Amino acid sequence: MFMQIKTAFSDGTSGQLKIIDATLDEPKANEVLIKMVATGVCHTDTAGRDGLTTPLPVSLGHEGAGIVEQVGSSVMDLQPGDHVVLSFAYCGRCQHCLTGHPGMCEHFNELNFAGHNFDGSHRIHTLDGQPISTFFGQSSFSTHAVVDQHNVIKVDPTVDLRLLGPLGCGIQTGAGTVLNYLQPKFGESLVIFGTGAVGLSAIMAAKITGANHIIAIDIFDNRLALAKELGATEVINSHQADVEATLKEILPTGADYTIDTTGVSPVVMNALHALKPGGECAVVGMGRDLTFNLMNDLMAEGKKISGVIEGDAIPQLFIPKLVDYYKKGRFPFDKLIKFYDFDQINDGFAASKDGSVLKPVVTF
């Protein structure tokens, strides 16, 4: 059995998403049917739209929030009516999943980017029966989604559900890199390169930790002003100041931690050079090649550089914590969000690309 839905679909031909009618299979034993309420727009969706991550045609969306309508026979922790956030897919059985690091799941790429279910089947089809790839196991730019239970996180029903989808990826990435991975201690220092949604989420999380210096670096004054509002103790516009010299004035011996959210190789090098001996740079931006001197840039001063996926989070534990921080006024991520109706989805993508909106959210 299947139901008819509307979904935002890309065949890679126009650089735009098309809202089409499609069919969605009913949930299997381990799956959940969700009526979508809202879904965040992320730069990874743009890569998916353009065919860089997932076989085309593809139904996109991976920061979903909605209400459970139906659960499969083996799903024990969810029931119809639950408010939920959808995060990344993971198997739940490999060593990384079982030791609390599902973002490093051995099957991460297959489950999130291969475009099909773990058994090779497809759950979304065109009206004439042609398969459509899924994205992050969600494809949540749709009126309904069927997802594996591992994708689903139950959240507080008293909080506006339209806000919560971005907690499933971008905001989780920034906040989790601080709170789960780096875990700065009270009084330590942190420098964040890039103040998009991920960087600003890291800043809000750093404020929660009591870090002494939370330094934001970007090229846009409006973003730096918001960074200051959200918890940055100092801000640097890298088009107007010498970043290395300015950081040296603030932190003469260097930073305990740095985070690069840009993926831009020279910026990553700045983040590495900004560290004190023994410091660590966490890289969360998508980039390409990077060349550095193993002796001078790493080994001689005991520095570390690490890639962090999805904030090293267990979403079922971490996302409810972020919601609780939000309710207490300690994680005001709603200041990043602007809503778009479903038929305005391409406007949301354009606003994300030009940087005029930090976190567009599509509502259904």
Average pLDDT rounded to a whole number, residues 330-355: 97
Whether the predicted pLDDT of 59 surpasses 90:
yes
**pLDDT for res 17:** 98
The SS3 call for residue 326 is helix
Domain contains 100: yes
Same domain flag for 302 and 207: yes
CA–CA separation, 43 and 174 (whole Å): 14
Q: How far is CA 214 from CA 202, 217, 258, 284, in A?
A: 10, 10, 10, 17
Q: Looking at residue 80, what DSSP letter applies?
A: T
Same domain flag for 32 and 155: yes
What CATH number should be reported for the domain holding residue 239?
3.40.50.720
Domain contains 316: no
Average pLDDT rounded to a whole number, residues 269-284: 98
Average pLDDT rounded to a whole number, residues 347-355: 95
pLDDT, tens digit (0-9, with 9 covering 90-100), for 308-328: 999 999 999 999 999 999 999
**pLDDT for res 2:** 87
Tokens of 169: 């990826």
Domain contains 12: yes
Same domain flag for 63 and 160: yes
pLDDT, tens digit (0-9, with 9 covering 90-100), for 123-136: 999 999 999 999 99
Average pLDDT rounded to a whole number, residues 153-175: 99
Residue % of the chain over a pLDDT of 90: 95
Same domain flag for 28 and 159: yes
How many CB atoms lie under 10 A from the CB of residue 291? 7
Domain contains 323: no
Average pLDDT rounded to a whole number, residues 88-106: 98
DSSP labels, 9-38: EE-SSSSS-EEEEEEEEPP-TTEEEEEEEE
CA–CA separation, 101 and 66 (whole Å): 25
CA–CA separation, 161 and 355 (whole Å): 24
CA–CA separation, 327 and 161 (whole Å): 13
Same domain flag for 177 and 164: no
Look at the alpha carbons of 6, 12, 14, 16 in this order and tell me if their dihedral is positive or negative: positive
The SS3 call for residue 336 is helix
Same domain flag for 182 and 232: yes
How many domains does the chain contain in total? 2
**pLDDT for res 1:** 62
Range of the domain at 53: 2-168+332-363
Q: Which residue type sits at 230?
A: L
Same domain flag for 220 and 148: no
Average pLDDT rounded to a whole number, residues 213-239: 98
Average pLDDT rounded to a whole number, residues 1-16: 92
Same domain flag for 110 and 34: yes
What CATH number should be reported for the domain holding residue 137?
3.90.180.10
Same domain flag for 345 and 272: no
CA–CA separation, 69 and 82 (whole Å): 8
**pLDDT for res 203:** 99
**pLDDT for res 333:** 99
Whole-number mean pLDDT of the chain? 97
Residue % of the chain over a pLDDT of 70: 100
CA–CA separation, 184 and 176 (whole Å): 12
Whether the predicted pLDDT of 287 surpasses 90:
no
Measure the N-to-C terminal CA separation of the chain; round to a whole number of Å: 24
Q: Looking at residue 138, what DSSP letter applies?
A: T
Q: Which residue type sits at 287?
A: G
**pLDDT for res 288:** 85
Q: How far is CA 74 from the centre of its chain?
A: 28
